[in-house]
Amino acid sequence: MDLRQLVQRKLASGERCTHSIETAKIIDDKRHLRIVAIIEKNDEHAILVYTASRIPCLNSEDLKLETVLSVDATLRCHAEAPRSDQSGIATSFLLGLKSPEIHILLEMPQQKSTQNFLAEIKRAQDLHTQNAAFGTTPSFDWLTKYRNKAGSSNPFAEDVFDPMKYMNLEGPNNHVTLTEEGQSSRSQSTWFASEFDNKLLLNGQGVAPYTNSYFGSRDSLDAMNKEFDFTDSLDSLQKQLGLGPGVELPIGAKPITSREAFARKILAERENEFTNVQTVRVFCGTWNVNGQSPSEALDRWLVVDEEPPDLYVIGFQELDLSREAFIFNDSIKEAEWQKSVKEYLHPKAKYKKVKSVRLVGILLMVYIQEKLSKYVNFIDADTVATGIMGIMGNKGGVSVRFTLHSTSMCFINSHLAAHQDEFERRNQDYRDISSKIKFKEFSPPLTMVDHDLVFWIGDLNYRIAGMPLDDVKMYIQKQMYKKLLLGDQLHGQLGQSDIFKDFKEGTIGFDPTYKFDTGTDVYDTSEKSRIPAWCDRILWRGDEIQQLRYDSHPQLRISDHKPVSSLFCVGIKVIDQKRYKKVYEDIMKQLDRIENDYLPQIKLDKTECLFKDVKFIEPQTEIITVANVGQAHVEFEFIKKLDDVGYCKPWLSAKPYKSVVEPGLSCDIHLEVYVDKATVSSLNSGQDKLEDILVLHLHGGKDFFITINGNFLPSCFGSSIEALIQMHHPIREVPEAQLVEIEQPGSLSQVDLSKSGGRLYMIPKELWRLVEHINVHGKAVENLFQIPGLQTELQQIRDCLDTGVPDVLPGSVHSIAESLLLFLECLAEPVIPFSYYSQCLAASNNLLLSKQVLSIIPEFHKNTFQYICEFLKEVLKYSDKNGLDFKFISAVFGAVLLRPPQSASCGGGTSKSNRHRLQEEEAKRAAFIYHFLTNDVLA
Amino acid sequence: MADCPHTIGVEFGTRIIEVAGQKIKLQIWDTAGQERFRAVTRSYYRGAAGALMVYDITRRSTYNHLSSWLTDARNLTNPNTVIFLIGNKCDLEAQRDVTYEEAKQFAEENDVTCLYLHFFFCQCRGENVEDAFLDTAKKIYQNIQDGSLDLNAAESGVQHKPATPRSPISNDQPPSKESCAC
């Protein structure tokens, strides 16, 4: 049974052992076997340490719980190399686990499962941080039972001495002696408390920061990071856009739109137009101090020129070789060196610290002259550890970045792999550091190559190879550096490989800086007598950098390395606000233009359509071509105007009235005018005209007005009986003005019979012609009134009636019959006028009542009605031939003679009751007519 | 100077301008000015935060139309819609047909803001229109600030984020002789 399963058996339900490893706990330098496991429950994680009664463990009884650690924000784990490293092959390493209560040191086997184990802890901690950010505080209630158990089964005496148990963390003034692995030190304890107070952690193991206060903590120029009180509108706009003086976006700024992203891109491209170049002097210094304290005056290193530099970039390696620095990444040496450096900065200027960052013994600090500090923005730092197993901080790099005015700068201090032959390891370290440095304050995180200027300093550890020691020493003595450089492992690679790609280094004019007998200027005289080398270097990447000096400082003797310095003159882009504003406004206008260019753009071949001489039931079509000449697809639609029911008049239609056109393509819209029975009478009477304005709307764009004009040729179809009986000539011969006049309701009463030729027709002459035609030619024709006519013949009949030519009506009897029905249906006022409609229906079940209603309708309507009834009676006499019967004729003519008023028929709807009502009405209409077909109308 | 086709329909454009540090996106409808389209252009007043009425100082006929435009604007917009009167082509002093005084008096009597534009005005592309838009946006912004324009009211014409005040423009200029700087 494997270890994980054994642990699992000891757990309560819902708890899961995800990882377990056999390990050794270090107590007083002695190894004690332990089983360490990660337990998960509901996204909460804990590390449980078990003692084992026998090896290998065979059942769960063999395991006894010793220590419980919850994986939360307070848990810290740090790795350290084992002390004895003689074998050369590291098979294990030490892992320190520390919570406020517990502090243990474990020897972890160097194997895959260990890496998984560490990765799981990191993942759990990330999860914890994440959950905490969402406001869910883990309770770890489920651990209580184990904590009690661990206490009872685990006598305190046996445990590692744990001073934290006795620390009252609430009180800030507690001073506790920390004993670690048997060593007692009063002074060491201070870091512990201060670390908790500050919640500051420089984490060297690549484990995510525990708290978000990591950045912008005590080391940064807090004052510079404060929210500026923008009063200038440009500045506030920049703020809104998340635009800095440079073109970077710090996390927390509101999400940017594509428009803003675009504006920023153009701004970056046109930077030259609104920036001036201002030079600043940058001092870079690097020193591997071999764990020593600063006992010498540093001005010999830090002050190399009369003129004070604007920026100090100072890097140390092996600043602190103590175990504390290594495991818990805290250092008392740092404070000493910080103090000393500050003391020896150029006396002629005042400096302010921008940021410092440390990874174990690798420290980088950046100072800027106070007068420039207000131009520093977007400060961030990161560390990358490349030591043992690629996770330990004995080797690696630290970096600080910020923006000065409009130029982004990145400084990296690194300590690469040691040993003469390990130059491939050094190369790999470079690759790791340069690729893994991520400034996470930015979204997405910035990397080294995202910066205008990069300075890389440090103990790069590259050696002089392929030369005997004596030759090297001889060349050094004669200062034949060029010869020496031929053997320099870095020099040979620069510009030739991916190592320090695009980096430059100045000409080295000083002796190798490693390795000296401490306190002397004498190269290594030990047994190993290492070959001197230029381990300590300063490189740069970017334009506008001019190296003024590149020196070593042999006068400083406390370390086995000599410090190196370089002074640069660097061009910084400074925004000219006036020009910036101009460019910015320019870009805004450009964006407006682009935005407007991307609005849908179409071209219409015409915006006016003329329909000439439109006739009843004869469609006319005009085609409008919509060409998409823009860059985006166009969705067009004819839209309704204010308060209108449809997008156009009822006699007009557009096909399609709505469509999508791709760029470069076009679409034909067929505009059709078709005057039918529903619209003809209002056009005849002049109430309506063939005029309309269509609004062609482009979605997200403009609207086009399309003007429709035309003239309608009046027709007897759709005229009123009242008007028709006044016309002595075909309707086309009647002047328009007169037509409008006689179409007015009640016009008949004003007719001066003496003037108008003294007579009125009894019935419309067109009706007479239609009826007479059927009477003469077709009353015996089979299926009369049942077979539809031909459209063309209907049009010919219309023309004949409207113009009076030819004398004989054209077309078949069926076309004539349909024309008759159409004529009756189109009458502006039905034969039984609308106002009598309901009375007729009410009277429909009674002949006498029906006759009474008929007697009160206007004379000319009554005449027409009687005329039609007589005709129908005549036709019905031939029912054996034409197949008609009273019922059918009553229904067909009831529908056209007795039409419901508009308002009643519009009430519509398709509900069942409504359909029923309509059927009932139809029956009553037929019944009303039926009376007059079966009886003498006049009687 | 090229002849600019008169508007048949409603030109549409957007412009982002700054007022008191706020970015304001204007959606601009430039409606056809011809009388025959009046019934249709009325649809565009609804929901507008501002209206610019433009006439040509060299042609009195365009000025004479103002009262009917104003009637439409007043009837169809909400009471706080900013209405501007803009005299166009002020550089053509020699051909002036409408005096500044009478336009000013008209504006005062009708409680609208009077502006004078130099040079030309052509749909929404003309460079000199900028000031008119800026002034309109300022006034709208001011109305929002002093609370007279309620952003929550329907048809205020202003949206807060994304801000899109709409400004239809009545370009009351018969097409015959219109020439433009664009």
Q: Write out chain A residues lying below 8 Å of B12, CB-based.
A: 599, 698, 701-703
Region of A37 on the Ramachandran plot (φ > 0 left; ψ -120 to 50 alpha; else beta): beta
Element (H, E) at A707: strand A703-712
Closest chain A residue by Cα to residue B11: A702
Residues A663, A629: Cα–Cα separation, whole Å: 6
> Does one domain contain both A391 and A438?
yes
Interface test with B, best of A702, A704, A708, A709 (most B CBs within 10 A): A702
Task: Tell me, yes or no, whether A254 lies in a domain.
Answer: no
> pLDDT (tens digit, 9 = 90+) per residue, A120-148?
887 888 787 777 766 666 778 888 888 77
Q: Which of B8, B14, B42 sits opposite A596 (nearest CB)?
A: B14
> Does one domain contain both A350 and A302?
yes
The amino acid sitting at A371 is K
Interchain contact, B37 vs A703, CB within 8 Å:
no
The residue with greater pLDDT, B116 or A780, is A780
Helix spans in A90-206 (H): 112-133, 144-153, 189-198
Helix spans in A778-836 (H): 791-803, 813-826
* CA angle in degrees (0–180, nearest 5) for B40-B44-B47: 150
pLDDT category, A903, cuts 50, 70, 90? low
The residue with greater pLDDT, A487 or B21, is A487
Q: Write out chain B residues lying below 8 Å of A595, CB-based.
A: 14
Domain boundaries, chain B: 48-146
> Does one domain contain both A14 and A73?
yes
Residue A252: what pLDDT? Answer: 34
Residue B163: what pLDDT? Answer: 37
> pLDDT (tens digit, 9 = 90+) per residue, A380-418?
999 999 887 666 778 999 999 999 998 999 999 999 999
Contact call for residues A702 and B9 (beta carbons, < 8 A): yes
Residue A210: what pLDDT? Answer: 31
> Does one domain contain both A495 and A627?
no
Alpha carbon distances (Å) from A701 to A595, B12, B26, B159: 11, 6, 14, 18
Residue A158's φ and ψ, nearest 5 degrees, are -75, -25
pLDDT surpasses 80 at B21:
no
Residue A754: what pLDDT? Answer: 63
Residues A936, A869: Cα–Cα separation, whole Å: 9
CATH code, domain carrying A128: 2.30.29.110
Residue A532: what pLDDT? Answer: 94
Counting Cβ atoms within 10 Å, is residue A218 exposed (0-12), middle (13-18) or buried (19+)? Answer: exposed
* CA angle in degrees (0–180, nearest 5) for A743-A744-A746: 115
Task: Tell me, yes or no, whether A173 lies in a domain.
Answer: no
Place of tokens 């009932």: A920
pLDDT surpasses 60 at A222:
no
Contact call for residues B134 and B86 (beta carbons, < 8 A): no
Q: Write out chain A residues lying below 8 Å of B24, CB-based.
A: none
> Does one domain contain both A660 and A533?
no
Q: Which of A233, A236, A705 sits opposite B32 (nearest CB)?
A: A705
Number of domains chain A is built from: 4
The residue with greater pLDDT, A443 or B176, is A443
The residue with greater pLDDT, A280 or A114, is A280
Residues A552, B72: Cα–Cα separation, whole Å: 85
Interchain contact, A702 vs B39, CB within 8 Å:
no
Min Cα distance B75 → chain A (Å) is 13
> Does one domain contain both A560 and A615?
no
| Most confident stretch, A76-80, A162-166, A470-474, B153-157 | A470-474
> pLDDT (tens digit, 9 = 90+) per residue, A763-779?
999 999 999 999 999 88
Structure tokens at A93: 């390493």
> pLDDT (tens digit, 9 = 90+) per residue, A45-80?
899 988 877 767 777 778 888 888 888 877 877 766
pLDDT surpasses 50 at B178:
no
B6–chain A Cβ distance below 8 A for any pair: no
The amino acid sitting at A472 is V
Structure tokens at B103: 């336009």
> Does one domain contain both A298 and A425?
yes
Alpha carbon distances (Å) from A359 to A57, A286, A524, B101: 39, 15, 28, 78
pLDDT category, A659, cuts 50, 70, 90? very high
> pLDDT (tens digit, 9 = 90+) per residue, A727-772?
888 999 988 888 888 888 878 777 766 665 667 888 999 999 999 9
Counting Cβ atoms within 10 Å, is residue B56 exposed (0-12), middle (13-18) or buried (19+)? Answer: buried
Task: Tell me, yes or no, whether A678 lies in a domain.
Answer: yes
Q: Write out chain A residues lying below 8 Å of B141, CB-based.
A: none
Helix spans in A380-422 (H): none
pLDDT surpasses 60 at B36:
yes
The amino acid sitting at A373 is S
Residues A302, A317: Cα–Cα separation, whole Å: 16
Q: Write out chain A residues lying below 8 Å of B32, CB-based.
A: 705
Structure tokens at A842: 């009410």
| Most confident stretch, A109-118, A550-559, B86-95 | A550-559
Task: Tell me, yes or no, whether A596 lies in a domain.
Answer: no
> pLDDT (tens digit, 9 = 90+) per residue, A855-872?
999 999 999 999 999 999
Interchain contact, A641 vs B43, CB within 8 Å:
yes
The residue with greater pLDDT, A88 or A494, is A494
Residues A215, A199: Cα–Cα separation, whole Å: 11
Alpha carbon distances (Å) from A284 to A178, A210, A312, A552: 38, 31, 6, 12
> Does one domain contain both A704 and A802?
no
B177–chain A Cβ distance below 8 A for any pair: no
Among the ranges given (A161-165, A235-239, A528-532, A662-666), the one the predictor scored with the smallest mean pLDDT: A161-165
Out of A135, A158, A173, a domain closes at A135
Question: A339, A337, A346, A348: which is closest to A315 by C-alpha?
Answer: A337
Residues B138, B20: Cα–Cα separation, whole Å: 8
Contacting residues for A41 by C-beta, under 8 A, at least 6 apart: A14, A15, A16, A142
- Count CB pairs under 8 A between chains A and B: 57
The residue with greater pLDDT, A2 or A357, is A357
Residue A644: what pLDDT? Answer: 83
Residues A566, A549: Cα–Cα separation, whole Å: 5
Residue A821: what pLDDT? Answer: 95
> Does one domain contain both A569 and A677?
no
Residue A203: what pLDDT? Answer: 33
Span B131-145, mean pLDDT? 82
Span B71-96, mean pLDDT? 82
The residue with greater pLDDT, A434 or A594, is A434
Contact call for residues A405 and A271 (beta carbons, < 8 A): no
pLDDT surpasses 90 at A209:
no
Q: Residues of chain A with pLDDT > 70: what percent?
A: 83
Give me the residues paired with residue B56 across strands.
Answer: B88
Within 10 Å of residue B104's Cβ, how many Cβ atoms? 14
> pLDDT (tens digit, 9 = 90+) per residue, A675-713?
999 999 999 988 999 999 999 999 888 899 999 999 999
pLDDT category, A816, cuts 50, 70, 90? very high
pTM: 0.56
> Does one domain contain both A569 and A432?
yes
Task: Tell me, yes or no, whether A832 lies in a domain.
Answer: yes
Contacting residues for A740 by C-beta, under 8 A, at least 6 apart: A685, A686
Within 10 Å of residue B161's Cβ, how many Cβ atoms? 5
Contact call for residues B34 and B66 (beta carbons, < 8 A): no
> Does one domain contain both A559 and A645?
no
Interchain contact, A695 vs B43, CB within 8 Å:
yes
- ipTM surpasses cut 0.95: no
Residue A237: what pLDDT? Answer: 35
> Does one domain contain both A785 and A844?
yes
Question: A277, A290, A286, A351: which is closest to A320 by C-alpha?
Answer: A290
Q: Write out chain B residues lying below 8 Å of A596, CB-based.
A: 13-14
pLDDT surpasses 80 at A280:
yes
Interchain contact, B39 vs A705, CB within 8 Å:
no
Q: Which domain holds residue A877?
A: 760-903+910-934
Min Cα distance A891 → chain B (Å) is 44
Helix spans in A199-287 (H): 222-225, 233-241, 258-269, 271-274
Span A93-103, mean pLDDT? 80
Interchain contact, A588 vs B36, CB within 8 Å:
no
Residue B147: what pLDDT? Answer: 76
Residues A923, A305: Cα–Cα separation, whole Å: 116
B32–chain A Cβ distance below 8 A for any pair: yes
The amino acid sitting at A8 is Q
Does domain B48-146 match CATH 3.40.50.620?
Answer: no
Residues A896, A887: Cα–Cα separation, whole Å: 15
Task: Tell me, yes or no, whether A685 lies in a domain.
Answer: yes
Among the ranges given (A36-45, A219-228, A271-280, A319-328), the one the predictor scored with the smallest mean pLDDT: A219-228
Interchain contact, A705 vs B40, CB within 8 Å:
yes
CATH code, domain carrying A773: 1.10.555.10
